[in-house]
Amino acid sequence: MYTYDTLLAKVTTAGGPVREVTDPATGAPIGSVPVNTVADLDGAVARAVAAQPEWAALSDEDRRQTLLALADAVDASAEALALVLSREQGKPLNGPNARFEVGACASWLRANAALDLPTETVLDDESGHAVLHYRPVGTVGVITPWNWPMMIAIWQIAPSLRMGNTVVAKPSEYTTLSGLALAAVLNDVLPAGVLEVVTGAGEIGDALVRRPEIGKVMFTGSTATGSKIISASADNITRLTLELGGNDAGIVLPDVDPAAIAEDLFWGAFINTGQTCAALKRLYVHDDVYDAVVQALAELAAKMPMGVGTDEANVLGPMQNKMQFDVVDSLVEDAKARGARVVLGGDPDRDAVGYFYPTTLVADIDDGAALVQQEQFGPALPIVRFSDVDEVVAAANGIEAGLGASVWSADRDAAVAVAGRLQAGTVWINSHGGVHPYVPFGGAKRSGYGLEFGVEGLKSVAVPQVISG
């Protein structure tokens, strides 16, 4: 069990090439993390590959029990993990943020311990007998982004370990401390080499993808990086699951009660201060309820406290980095220049030390605006007016991303009918962005391919083998 200080001491490095880590809310130094070389990567891959046969030789029940022990270890150090995460990533301790994320890590480990992927008898008659088995891939490369750095890592690590694989994980260079802290807690339970972590930026990720010993890469990040990973994987035919960028539409039909849906709309869009893959990023509202929905959202959003993550009162935090702050800022400025109406926010203090972008609602914006067409990945929601369902379905489908979407209506059947027409991996009804460890999750179109979670998630880190005869 760690305290914040003991955990930080365990993962902070003084010698060698290091990257200084600062708090995105205050600019204060937090610690420093190693910047690994390709030689370090080679060592990590070699250790993970060497550890794999023994790990795979354990019984499934032993690995199941290990996952449960990992969940207990996360719980025992939950507050320390949440503090590291909050300080480095910026997300508040409270609300659906740091404590929630650490709690989800423990839940995902337990859920992956509970799942079953039995062998399947796919043919058993006079024409023959065939059984489908799921074998370990070997060593899995896990490359993660900076928005949910612990939870997304666990999404890949838990099923990989359960299926008898070892893992080499590369956290984002923006949230390395969080990745190392989580691994430190897990590695107190795991045998040596089963979970290795390498640090660094894109070139280390690229080198990891290109290693022939890596049988599968689980990647979560931007669509542009996903394309590069597809190219890098080509020589070795490395298997890939790609969870890429989204620009999810939410469609509000005219029969809703605006006050009743405002809070779920808000969190659908602003969870993790908008820095969420499957957040609601383009809100389309029917003309009949447009003004009432905008007003209800604005009243609610204005009350949500934003500030330093370690202040218990806050539920919204800073942007994690200046790069993303600038993306949001320029998209909102562009919307203003096009004549859109800023209902709330839109006036950041660009000279402040922390990367705080205020909660922003942009109404009366045309569908062609960059704030609608591109992923903002921050707390600025464009709200587009519509009057025709066919037109709004075309607008929702009119971009290259297809991660999630949502339909909001008092009439479930009407919502499901619209949902079926949307090109997205998940369509939520009257909510947005909720994930569950038993429900498969993955993108359509340029939001990637492959599924995670549930039994499909276990299959994604396994190699199917048919034994016939």
Q: Which residues are at the interface with ligand NAD (CB under 6 A)?
A: 143-147, 152, 170, 172-173, 201-202, 205-206, 209, 220-222, 225, 228-229, 243-246, 277, 375, 377, 403, 443, 447-448
> Please, which residue, 36 or 220, has the CB nearer to ligand NAD?
220
Q: Which of 451, 427, 428 has its CA nearest to residue 440?
A: 451
Report how far residue 122's alpha carbon sits from residue 186's, in angstroms, rounded to the nearest whole number. 37
- Contact call for residues 182 and 190 (beta carbons, < 8 A): no
CB of 405 to ligand NAD, least distance (A): 13
Helix axes 98-114, 78-89, angle to 10 degrees: 130
> Please, which residue, 205 or 258, has the CB nearer to ligand NAD?
205
- Contact call for residues 161 and 457 (beta carbons, < 8 A): no
- Scanning the structure block, which residue is given the tokens 């590695």? 187
> Please, which residue, 24 or 448, has the CB nearer to ligand NAD?
448
In angstroms and rounded to an integer, the radius of gyration of the C-alpha atoms of the chain is 23
β-pairing, 360-363 with 341-344?
antiparallel
Q: Which of 389, 457, 451, 409 has its CA nearest to residue 426?
A: 451
Q: Which of 271, 251, 247 has its CA nearest to residue 415?
A: 251
Position with the least CB separation from ligand NAD: 205
Q: Which amino acids are annotated catalytic?
A: 243, 277
Residue 452 DSSP one-character state: B
Q: How far is CA 300 from CA 259, 263, 266, 273, in A?
A: 9, 7, 8, 15
> Please, which residue, 106 or 444, has the CB nearer to ligand NAD?
444
- Contact call for residues 446 and 402 (beta carbons, < 8 A): yes
Strand ranges across the sheet with 120-125: 120-125, 128-136, 462-468
> Please, which residue, 179 or 354, has the CB nearer to ligand NAD?
179
Amino acid sitting at position 237? I
**CA angle (269 as vertex; 268, 274 as ends), nearest 5:** 125
> Please, which residue, 200 or 348, has the CB nearer to ligand NAD?
200
* 417: its two tokens: 């009918």
CB of 452 to ligand NAD, least distance (A): 8
**CA angle (377 as vertex; 421, 223 as ends), nearest 5:** 70
- Scanning the structure block, which residue is given the tokens 């290259």? 400
Cα-Cα-Cα-Cα dihedral sign, residues 139, 221, 430, 414: negative
**CA angle (56 as vertex; 50, 62 as ends), nearest 5:** 125
- Contact call for residues 194 and 53 (beta carbons, < 8 A): no
CB of 28 to ligand NAD, least distance (A): 22
Residue 374 DSSP one-character state: S
- Contact call for residues 332 and 359 (beta carbons, < 8 A): no
Q: Which of 238, 235, 197, 243 has its CA nearest to residue 219?
A: 243
CB of 120 to ligand NAD, least distance (A): 28
CB of 62 to ligand NAD, least distance (A): 30
Report how far residue 372's alpha carbon sits from residue 359's, in angstroms, rounded to the nearest whole number. 16
> Please, which residue, 178 or 310, has the CB nearer to ligand NAD?
178
CB of 236 to ligand NAD, least distance (A): 14
Residue 157 DSSP one-character state: H
> Please, which residue, 66 or 225, has the CB nearer to ligand NAD?
225
> Please, which residue, 23 or 248, has the CB nearer to ligand NAD?
248
CB of 101 to ligand NAD, least distance (A): 12
